[in-house]
Amino acid sequence: MTFDPAAFMQDSQGRFVPVGMVKDVDKARHELVLEIVGKAQELRQAMARFRDDAMGDVAAFVQLSGEKYGAKLGGDKGNLTLVSYDGRYKVQRQVSENLVFDERLQAAKSLIDECITEWSEGSRDEIRALIADAFQVDKEGRINTGRVLGLRRLNIDDPRWKEAMQAVSDSLRVAGSKTYLRVYERREDGKYEAIALDLAAM
């Protein structure tokens, strides 16, 4: 006896159930879910094609615009905003870089600890708290780059502190980047509102 897949439906536990034993409502629900998922997958593919086409068009326009002035521009790199002539629409390309620290951050932390230990007790409690907060790790064990980089804004005239801040700068590197494309329409109040391409945002 040969197995006929059309005569069975597979349940969530991987078992093959004869079609005749499956309730009509369960069959109808199954078909509805497959139909919606199929349309969602087609839409995802269409959105991916739109993104790739739009990114390519923006890069080509940047290069074309640069050639008008005899300049060679990186067509697909960097943040930029293109606005329609009437100002009603704008397209933004944003590059988000994933910044991480290498082992030199530990050298910076060591120098900072030396400064804190030597500075008089009580007079720099705020800075002590700020530094402790900056070097805290999240649930994944990562250090918040924004908080650490924020330490460089502190105006502290100590050679070791300055050396530590240089070590912080030197330890920073780009681990990767992601490019986003956002499209906006101007509202009647003059503010731009993103044209939602996310189902949850509609």
Q: What is the pLDDT of residues 147-156, one digit of tens each?
A: 888 888 888 8
Most confident residue range from 3-7, 76-80, 96-100, 190-194: 190-194
Lowest model confidence (mean pLDDT) among 33-47, 57-71, 84-98: 57-71
Interval 39-59 mean pLDDT: 93
134-143: long-range contacts (C-beta < 8 A, 24 or more apart)?
135/109, 143/101, 143/105
Which pLDDT does position 92 carry in this prediction? 93
**What does the DSSP 8-state code read for residue 120?**
P
Interval 34-60 mean pLDDT: 93
The larger pLDDT score, comparing residue 116 to residue 20, is at 20
Compute CA distances 66 → 8, 20, 91, whole Å. 62, 67, 18
Angle at alpha carbon of residue 196, lines to 192 and 200, rounded to 5° = 135
54-60: long-range contacts (C-beta < 8 A, 24 or more apart)?
54/91, 54/181, 55/93, 55/179, 55/181, 58/82, 58/91, 58/93, 58/181
Residue-wise pLDDT tens digits, 81-124:
999 999 999 999 998 878 888 888 888 888 888 877 777 565 56
53 pLDDT above the threshold of 80: yes
Which pLDDT does position 159 carry in this prediction? 85
Angle at alpha carbon of residue 119, lines to 133 and 125, rounded to 5° = 40
Contact 79, 93 (CB under 8 A): yes
First and final CA of the chain: distance in angstroms?
52
3-state secondary structure of 24: helix
Which pLDDT does position 77 carry in this prediction? 63
71 pLDDT above the threshold of 70: no
Lowest model confidence (mean pLDDT) among 8-17, 56-65, 151-160, 178-187: 151-160
- Strand 80-83 and strand 16-18: the pairing is unpaired
